[in-house]
Structure 1
């Protein structure tokens, strides 16, 4: 029997340690990140936790709000460009397949039963971490499941082998950096503001919606455990050119926000990404998640780092009428 409940004070105190122990836990699952996401999305976060006796089975943060007179639920909520959330399992990989699948299924069913008891959402949307590979329990509870894709770079191979795997132009751009007066540095809140403002201006120029604000990202930076949010800036000849805000868990660094097109006459983004990768390798990080591989316009740039293609999933449960209502919510600022 798996018992699912809303996390109490004791559960929340231990929440981040559970995230670190889960194979599917990522930087966006941390308790502090959930609080900031809820605040900036205008939602209530329901931190679901499952137990088998005294043993934690899984975590499942869900964000809920009312729109058009109905309750809708998301994990993660839209517009803040959180790439993955959904369930994070614990203490299951040690079990044999039959028992592991039974426990996983009971946890997922228990989460949705608790969610529908608490808020009765008419629409639920999920986007799961790529390491959450078995979507069958979600599908069996009435969800439509579709695949999506991201690129990941293996950082365990070492600098020399990694650079050799890059495309010829990427290798050339990195090596030509030896002839350029540039720096890639980790900064703080001011770096975040410059990076996000540059992204806002770039999207405005393209007349494309961009839901991220400097306030949201600085709140994440302040709230997350130390070193989980790292804003990197690249300067050429002493002048700021661009940057990247990364998020990080124990083994993965996420290329989250930044990398805007710039006016500098150097391949600054190649040098920036290389600097982020080498810095992460020095800390023992194993994977660089490039956060997305479904935009053909951007894939050409990301693919030159010789990444692996990883699948993650979207899941949706709703009536046709509520799907329209959810789309209306996603368009709200």
Structure 2
């Protein structure tokens, strides 16, 4: 039986289906997709695949037009969304062969519909670490590049988590720091965190298109507790913070900033507090969102996280390289 693909325009229906997927994330939430589309000047297509009447997968795709070029993204570009892509449904009890056939037919059906409906000149998909079979994309002519992230297991007891830290971080959290405070952030603090992250990227000559209004809109759109923020102060002065996302027991360390000129180890103390606070809320994992930059990896590895893989998948028409260059100039 062939796979039927439909767009679901009802956010409640989409989120209810998402709750049944092992590959879902906060980035798959309907409200998150709508907010990304609005801030990224794109159109979201929330595709659902059906075999008969049974839903077998979710695959949100965002359509973006720049001049004469049309592109398809999952996740959207420029908004620091690390992964999206397919989220299989009702596959847990299937045998290997049937699960693979279903995954292939679902992915092919969505990609065929994308090509028929808006014919993108290039397509970029980044899967989540929980999506473990990207071969249908490769068989469809996509280039696959492995990407990595770090995930910390929060089910360990606090003492085991502390002992797994790098010795320098252990020393920081053992000695702590006089006058250093961490608390839940309000929206004003969130704005300062995002502005600090923007300055840090500018210092490195890197693009940063996350805005305070984008984060505020996400906070307002998503359910309570899904967007969380912590602010750090030293002797009463703002010195950093983090905006995280929380979904199905996993915390995603999304955007952060720390004042490195301070006499206290802002990042060490901030992350240790956030790990423990997440554990106390009953969370089981913390995704550090990225293990692809050598400099950042040296720091993130100090927490002894697990290395996990996902895939960046790209496909285009023959003029992809030229189109990509023009797109970068126009965006």
TM-score of Structure 1 vs Structure 2, range by shorter chain: over 0.9
- Which residue matches 1:276? 274
SS at match of 1:263: coil
Between the aligned partners of 2:76 and 2:329, the Cα distance in structure 1 is 12
CA contact (8 A) 1:242 1:262 kept: no
- Which residue matches 1:206? 204
CA contact (8 A) 1:67 1:325 kept: no
Aligned-residue Cα RMSD (Å) equals 1.5
CA contact (8 A) 1:143 1:315 kept: yes
- Which residue matches 2:124? 125
How far is 1:211 from its partner? 1.4
- Which residue matches 1:5? 6
CA contact (8 A) 2:194 2:257 kept: no
Matches within 5 A, 1:307-326: 307-326=305-324
Q: 1:245-301: CA deviations, max 9, x gaps?
A: 101111211111113443221011111111111111112211111111111111111
1:8 to 1:79, Cα distance in 2 relative to 1, 3 A: closer
Matches within 5 A, 1:176-191: 176-177=175-176, 179-191=177-189
CA contact (8 A) 2:85 2:127 kept: yes
Matches within 5 A, 1:197-236: 197-236=195-234
Between the aligned partners of 1:135 and 1:38, the Cα distance in structure 2 is 25
SS at match of 2:303: coil
How far is 1:331 from its partner? 4.9
Q: Which runs of 5 or more structure 2 residues have no equivalent in the other structure?
A: none
What's the TM-score, normalizing by structure 1? 0.95
Q: Is 1:69 aligned to 2:101, yes or no?
A: no
Between the aligned partners of 2:227 and 2:155, the Cα distance in structure 1 is 21
Q: 1:170-191: CA deviations, max 9, x gaps?
A: 11111111x5232221223112
- Which residue matches 1:196? 194
Between the aligned partners of 1:320 and 1:264, the Cα distance in structure 2 is 51
Matches within 5 A, 1:232-251: 232-251=230-249
Between the aligned partners of 1:168 and 1:86, the Cα distance in structure 2 is 38
CA contact (8 A) 2:149 2:288 kept: yes
- Which residue matches 2:54? 55
1:299 to 1:120, Cα distance in 2 relative to 1, 3 A: same
How far is 1:168 from its partner? 0.4
Between the aligned partners of 2:98 and 2:194, the Cα distance in structure 1 is 46
Between the aligned partners of 2:208 and 2:9, the Cα distance in structure 1 is 35
CA contact (8 A) 2:239 2:258 kept: no
- Which residue matches 2:38? 39
Q: 1:70-103: CA deviations, max 9, x gaps?
A: 2210111211110001111110121111111111
Between the aligned partners of 2:116 and 2:77, the Cα distance in structure 1 is 23
Between the aligned partners of 1:331 and 1:248, the Cα distance in structure 2 is 34
How far is 1:34 from its partner? 0.2
What's the TM-score, normalizing by structure 2? 0.95
Between the aligned partners of 2:273 and 2:322, the Cα distance in structure 1 is 43
How far is 1:237 from its partner? 2.1
Between the aligned partners of 2:145 and 2:283, the Cα distance in structure 1 is 29
How far is 1:332 from its partner? 4.2
How far is 1:56 from its partner? 1.4
CA contact (8 A) 2:45 2:60 kept: yes
Q: How many residues align?
A: 330
- Which residue matches 2:289? 291
Q: 1:134-181: CA deviations, max 9, x gaps?
A: 11112112211110111111111121111100110011111111x523
